[in-house]
Amino acid sequence: MFNRRKFIQASAFSTGAMALGQKYLNLPSGTVNKPIVISTWDFGVAANEAAWKVLTKNGSALDAVEQGVSIIEAQGTNQSVGYGGLPDRDGVVTLDACIMDEKGNCGAVLALEKIMHPISVARRVMEKTPHVMLAGDGALQFALSEGFKPMNLLTPSSEKAWKEWLKQAKYQPSINIENKLYEKVAPKKLPGNQYNHDTIGMLALDEKGNLSGACTTSGMAFKLHGRVGDSPIIGAGLYIDNEIGGATSTGVGEEVIRNVGSFLVVELMRQGYTPEQACKEAVMRIIKKKPETAKNIQVGFLAINKNGEYGAFAIQQGFTFAVCDKNKQDLVLKGKSYY
Ligand code: ASP
């Protein structure tokens, strides 16, 4: 039974939360920072550039995030997203992606093979089917029926890295601390900050004040065939609530899923946390539950609120994110971290 005392406590709490929320979320009118697009890692700069073109033409946040992350999916040089992504332990490139709009609509593809733009397939799932997720062969079948062209996603350099890995075939599913573990198994000089992971998660707020997000990855390098991480899971790798804000993640997907990370970040912003505080709290949940595991893995969250304020936090140093707004189009910032 719902007792009165509890009811009073509950309403006192929500009033408090609202008041706290107002501190961060209700800036004086006219100070909303829009349009704006933010995305994970240094390579987010190129993605933001494409998204910015959409946003400055009064385009929707949804189109912006789809077109933004597509740039990275098509870059054969990026070994953690789309074409050129590192394969699983069987040498198969499988891609995960999801997209979410301001109305709470969402779509995702899991372990999709042979298609360069999983984000666009995810959008079709959202817009053309009554479902949220399609996986594996079914996702491929759907993509083909929508006119996407199949191709070989394994580039020579990703194949070379996989063959190197096969020499030891050490199953080491922990995602690196940016640079330590993977140097042993991959070509020394991969472009940028790319080792055995990295995902592009993008969040945009358009001129109308609507939020959307996209997240796309080839996932953990040399994973078990069929393994799916957080990136295509709504609430884990990405979450948007148009009243509050949005969040996305990168790093060891298993830990993000276990803590429903991006949903958690958005709900914390609802309670009044700033984007950075919310990301930090989500990281702390992971660390508190598994302090020993957390020492050796990376997880980073990136978030934006309805006012276009943004923030990030990661377990380990080295997490970067790219910001593009009216003030600056090619900003790269270092996320704060626990270690
Ligand atoms: N989160 C991705 C996954 O677990 C990988 C990454 O972001 O590095 O598949």
Residue 145, domain member (yes or no): yes
For the CA of 201, the nearest atom of ligand 1 = 7
Residue 21, domain member (yes or no): no
Asked whether residue 187 carries a pLDDT value surpassing 60, the answer given is no
Q: Which domain holds residue 81?
A: 34-337
Residue 12, domain member (yes or no): no
Residue 5, domain member (yes or no): no
| CB half-sphere exposure, 88, CA atoms < 13 A | 17
Query: What confidence tens digit (pLDDT) does each residue in 295-315 have?
Result: 988 999 999 999 999 999 999
Mean pLDDT of 317-321: 93
Output the residue whose Cα is nearest ligand 1's atom 4: 253
Tokens of 308: 């276009």
Per the structure, how many domains does the chain have? 1
Tokens of 43: 């390579």
Task: Out of 199, 216, 250, 320, pick the active-site residue.
Answer: 199
> Tell me, what CATH number does 74's domain have?
3.60.20.30
Name the pairing type of β-strands 133-135 and 211-217. Answer: unpaired
Residue 9, domain member (yes or no): no
Based on the residue annotation, tell me whether 155 is a catalytic residue of this protein. no
Integer Cα distance of 262 and 248 in angstroms: 6
Query: What confidence tens digit (pLDDT) does each residue in 10-69 have?
Result: 333 333 333 333 333 445 556 899 999 999 999 999 999 999 999 999 999 999 999 999
For the CA of 197, the nearest atom of ligand 1 = 8
Query: What confidence tens digit (pLDDT) does each residue in 97-138 have?
Result: 999 999 999 999 999 999 999 999 999 999 999 999 999 999
Residue 25, domain member (yes or no): no
Q: Give the residue from 13, 81, 19, 2 showing the smallest Cα distance to 47.
A: 81
Query: What confidence tens digit (pLDDT) does each residue in 246-285 have?
Result: 999 999 999 999 999 999 999 999 999 999 999 999 999 9
Asked whether residue 205 carries a pLDDT value surpassing 50, the answer given is yes
Spell 99-128 as b/e; 16+ CB within 10 A means b: bbbbeeebbbbbbbbbbbbbbbbbbbbbee
Residue 159, domain member (yes or no): yes
List beta partners, residue 323.
Answer: 38, 331
Residue 7, domain member (yes or no): no
Residue 230 Cβ inside 6 Å of ligand 1? The answer reads: yes
Task: Report the separation in Å between the CA atom of 286 and the middle of ligand 1, taken as the mean of its atom positions.
Answer: 15
Residue 175 Cβ inside 6 Å of ligand 1? The answer reads: yes
